[in-house]
Amino acid sequence: MKMIREGGKVVAYTWVSEGDSSHWDKVGDVMGGTDKDASGKTVFEGKPYDFVFNVDVEDGKPPLKLPYNRGDDVYQAAHAFLVKNLLPGDYLEQVVDFILKNSKEQFVPPTNNQYQDPFTGGSRYTPSYQSNSNQTGVNVDPFTGGSSYSTAASKKDF
């Protein structure tokens, strides 16, 4: 039995051998079993996506699936694709260009002025120091804001 996409539907055929002749016989339309959810997005690995691209990486092997949603960070999507399929990081820009071309989107860098890690989306650690005017003469730990132990001898010890 083979299933063939004809127009917007899938049709099932079966191979029939009758004496000296053989032919494909139409069984009927295949019902259900769609890869689209109610919103029209393509479902891949249980999650809905606007696009699931077929990426032909090597001749003679099936294409790899590259999922992408509009508005997602193209660099994160490309990086996740490379990591999942054990492909070299040198292909990052090529995969980003592929996504942008095929989704007809334009790359929009993050709008906030703060640093954003391209892989995790998080920001970097930036220490902040709050001066406490009540603690004059006391050593203040820059990490906790509390006082610290000092080994310095006072003038009266001499």
CA proximity to 43, closest of 22, 24, 69: 69
Each residue's pLDDT tens digit, 110-154? 555 566 666 666 666 665 555 555 545 566 666 776 766 666 655
Which of these, 51, 59, 62, 57, lies nearest to 102 by C-alpha position? Answer: 51
Residue of 119, 98, 120, 115 lying closest to 107 (CA atoms): 98
Residue 65 has pLDDT above 80, yes or no: yes
Which 3 state secondary structure label does DSSP give 89? helix
Query: 26: helix, coil or strand?
Result: strand
pLDDT value at residue 126? 60
Domains along the chain? 1-33 (no CATH), 35-110 (3.10.20.870)
pLDDT value for 129: 54
Measure the CA–CA gap between 39 and 50, rounded to whole angstroms. Answer: 10
Distance CA 73, CA 108 (A): 8
